[in-house]
Structure 1
Amino acid sequence: MKTYIHNIFVFLLFIFTVSLTSSDLTAQEKEKFIVVLDAGHGGGDPGNLGNGYREKDIALKVVLEVGKALEKNKDIKVIYTRKTDVFLELYERSAIANKADADLFVSVHCNSHNSQAYGTETFVMGFTNDRRNLEIAKKENEVIFMEDNYEKHYEGFDPNSPESLHSLSLIQEQYVDQSIVLARKIEDNFSKSVGRKSRGIKQASLWVIHNTYMPGILVELGFLTNNKEGPFLNSRKGQLKMASALEDAILDYKKELDNNVGSDIFIDDDEVIIEDEVANDSTEIAEPEKPMIYEGVTFKVQIAAGKSRLATRSYNFKGLKEVSREKDGNLYKYYYGETSDYNEIQRLKEEASEKGYSSCFVVAYKAGEKVSVSEVIKSTAN
């Protein structure tokens, strides 16, 4: 009898220990930074076939390399929308990310064109569906026509309708700032580390990222239709280089989030590069000669943002004084300076940049509401 009771006690102790361990593991899992990697196309959808290469294969190989590298980090959990050559319906991809309560969604693709265009592009969700971005959006969204019962899954969405594309942007709007930060890091890595031509950060209405409840981007690794870029992307060497650049960008992004506040966090929509525009703003005046006042408009320089509420003291902001703080959702945004003089705010922006805030940018307010800087400067200054 004693032996029986002893065995029961040992069994119950074992169950209790296992349950505690399981609970602890679950908590640890939730604390991990979850990255969902999405290899575009797959199965009966090959993507583009520029120069005879298959987009679906290249995207998958790059994604698997990125994931393998990220999985070495104990603080990161990687989830793949696909690890083999299978067809996934478009809505399933975002559903996987949402179900995992992911922190980041990265979709990888390859580009094509009827010319010898070349270079990388990274897309975030946005309203800027100009002519070429509209075509990109249509191309990536039209895969829904390959799905059964697509009318049911996409609630009347029409990839060829600008109105449908515009409506997609609403859900992702709150994550655009963070998405642009990652997009910039990726494009910088492609350019500086791999030596690719960066065509910049773009905004387009893409279904695959519109319904994800976390920052999300779509990366175009390059043009398979280009006679030099196609072979590079189809090569093992090229795929490893592109994967390494993506991995480094994701790790750098996570590091800035862990630090809560940083010089390159949360870039304004006005800073997104559309098409092949250069990053230099032709309206900037490096050495202003006279005031350029916009009555009723307040310009500020956004230098950082994050989840921590920092005292607006100069020692927290590399010696900059006149720093203000604003709560925006669950974030605190930090601004340097405040003026109606556009030339003066450009001087302050340059000053902040020299202090180390290289990705700072100008924002504008009118009657207490944030307005587009580009629209303000189109009006006549006093």
Structure 2
Amino acid sequence: MKVYVNAGHDRHLDSGAVNKGLNLRECDAAYELACLVKKYLEGNGIAVLFGQKDDLYAVCDEANREDCDLFISLHFNAFNGRASGTETLISGSTGSLMLGHCIQSNLRAVLNLPNRGLKERPGLFVLRSTVMPAVLVEVCFIDNDFDWRRYAVHKDDAARAIATGIMQYPGQMKGAALWGEAA
């Protein structure tokens, strides 16, 4: 299996969401988390391509050109400083739904934040421009100090949870296919 791990935003051109009080930028947090996820996947024999660029055309083209099996984009949400939780955005395809479920359930269990669930967003560029199952994970709200502190304490666990969800995906798809054949 070959996985494209995309750290959201760009450390030089687009900070993404920020938490001014804690001096946090989404692009930095996403990069750090993506590096950890990459480490855990590669430690389990999974090939990983990694990208963090402002040019989403280039990111999606690379994932498609390199025949990646899965595409995961890592982000941190922001709204009003009070919104809280973990959510995973999916394209709506069966593969995206199953991948999103695997990641969301594991991540939610380790962070123990409100489960904002899976949300279909087929219009998001990275979800509509990749040919493989793709998800965009909103790990927590970077502008909510409680969310961020919980994430910071469990950062390594969050990376392992995302990697575990990715590794569970093939078995889940196989099980779904077998269940569909029996019906």
**Considering the TM-score relative to the shorter chain, is it more than 0.5?**
yes
Other-structure match for 1:305:
177
8 Å Cα contact 1:122-1:201 kept in structure 2: yes
Structure 2 counterpart SS, 1:228:
helix
Please tell me whether residue 80 in structure 1 is matched to residue 50 in structure 2. Answer: yes
Q: Which amino acid aligns with 2:126?
A: V
Counterpart-to-counterpart distance in 2, 1:121 and 1:62: 16
SS of match in other structure, 1:96: helix
Determine which of 211, 219, 225 is the counterpart of 2:137: 219
Q: Residue 305 of structure 1: SS of its match in structure 2? A: helix
Q: Is the radius of gyration larger for structure 1 or structure 2?
A: 1
Residue ranges of structure 1 left out of the alignment (5+ in a row): 1-32, 127-175, 263-303, 307-316, 318-332, 337-382
Q: Distance in 2 between matches of 1:95 and 1:238?
A: 33
Matched, 1:248 2:95: no
Q: Deviations over 1:249-277 (max 9, x none)?
A: 011113345xxx31xxxxxxxxxxxxxxx
Q: Which amino acid aligns with 2:98?
A: V
Following superposition, which runs of at least 4 residues in structure 1 exceed 4 angstroms of deviation?
Answer: none
Q: Which amino acid aligns with 1:211?
A: S
Rounded Cα–Cα distance in structure 2 between residues aligned with 1:64 and 1:88: 18
Aligned match of 1:231: 149
Q: 1:49 aligns with which of 18, 24, 35?
A: 18
What is the RMSD of the two structures over their aligned residues, measured on CA atoms?
1.7
What is the CA–CA distance in structure 2 between the aligned matches of 1:117 and 1:73, rounded to whole Å? 35
* Structure 2 counterpart of 1:46, one-letter code: S
TM-score (norm. length: structure 1): 0.45
The question of whether the paired residues in 2 share the 8 Å contact of 1:209 and 1:216 is answered with yes
Letter aligned with residue 334 of structure 1: E
User: Given the superposition, is the C-alpha separation of residues 196 and 190 from structure 1 closer, same or farther in structure 2, using an over 3 Å criterion?
Assistant: farther
How much has 1:209 moved relative to structure 2? 2.0
Q: Quick one: distance in 2 between partners of 1:70 and 1:215? A: 17
1:184 aligns with 2:154: no
Identical-pair percentage = 33
* Maintained 8 Å contact 1:47/1:54: yes
Where in structure 2 are the equivalents of 1:187-336 lying within 5 Å?
Answer: 187-204=104-121, 205-233=123-151, 235=152, 237-257=153-173, 261-262=174-175, 304-305=176-177, 333-334=180-181, 336=183
In the other structure, the counterpart of 1:37 is 5
What does the per-residue CA deviation read over 1:316-341, in whole Å, with 9 as the maximum and x for residues that have no partner? x7xxxxxxxxxxxxxxx3363xxxxx
Aligned to 1:93: 59
**Which amino acid is the alignment partner of residue 101 of structure 2?**
R
**CA drift at 1:93:** 1.1
Larger RCO (CA under 8 A, 6+ residues apart): 2
CA displacement at 1:115 relative to structure 2: 4.5
Q: TM-score, normalised by structure 2?
A: 0.90
SS of the aligned residue for 2:43 comes to: coil
